Amino acid sequence: MKIFLDTAEIEEIRTVARWGVLDGVTTNPSLFAKVGGSYDDVLKQICEITRGPVSAEVVAEDVEGMLREGRQFARLASNIVVKVPMSEQGLEAIARFAQEGIKTNCTLIFSSNQGLLAARAGASLLSPFVGRLDDISEDGMNVVRELVAMIETHDLKSEVLAASIRHPRHVTQAALAGAHIATVPLKILRQMIHHPLTDKGIVQFRKDWEAVEKQPS
């Protein structure tokens, strides 16, 4: 399973790229709002850090507006993927982008049927929102499982991108469910790295090493 970073913060993206685990980036209007400035400039900077897919989300709700915004994003860099919300207009825009050879990520997917339709319309990535479903007492990961099964059974070309990840266990569950990608906030990636026994072990190894070093030879 590939790991994308769910952020628009340039320094966060640089950090994870240095760790060697950055396969791509997802942004959305809320993540961009935390950063500010020009969305185009932020996207260009992200695309210079990673060659992996970088999702840029449209805010228009009509087909022509989505196409206009998405084409503009696609001109910024060759690894831009246009993020389009699930809706009747979104499906039409996804189909039109596919005809133009522009890759799309269908976002705000909360059921496997929505994902199936997005895949049929030609979306490269399908983003089921696991955490937001869990928040309303549904089993968000079940949508990931069902979508992965649909794609394998019917040999569809889209990849399942587990989104709205709330804790490290979601990442494990997404990988075991066969998700092709999980997009993860930096805080959760850090939680995945650290374990109290690892951190304690590092300190103990250093202390033991220093005690031997101090002994006269």
**Which residues would be at the binding site for ligand E4P (CB under 6 A)?**
6, 26, 28, 107, 127, 129, 131-132, 163-164, 183
Catalytic-role residue among 2, 34, 44, 83? 83
User: From the CB of 186, what's the least distance to ligand E4P, in Å?
Assistant: 12
Task: Map 55-92 to HEC letters.
Answer: EEECCCCCHHHHHHHHHHHHHHCCCEEEEEECCHHHHH
User: From the CB of 167, what's the least distance to ligand E4P, in Å?
Assistant: 11
What is the enclosing helix (H) or strand (E) of 106? strand 104-109
CA distance 45 to 5: 14
In order, the DSSP letters of 130-170 are: HHHHHHTTS-HHHHHHHHHHHHHHTT---EEEEBS--SHHH
CA 116 to chain centre: 19
User: From the CB of 132, what's the least distance to ligand E4P, in Å?
Assistant: 5
Q: Give the residue with the Cβ less far from ligand E4P, 114 or 183.
A: 183
Q: Which residue is nearest to ligand E4P (CB)?
A: 164
Active site residue 83: yes
Q: Give the residue with the Cβ less far from ligand E4P, 136 or 212.
A: 136
User: From the CB of 155, what's the least distance to ligand E4P, in Å?
Assistant: 25
Q: Give the residue with the Cβ less far from ligand E4P, 112 or 183.
A: 183
In order, the DSSP letters of 173-207 are: HHHHHT-SEEEE-HHHHHHHH--HHHHHHHHHHHH
Q: Give the residue with the Cβ less far from ligand E4P, 151 or 174.
A: 174
Give the catalytic positions in this structure: 83
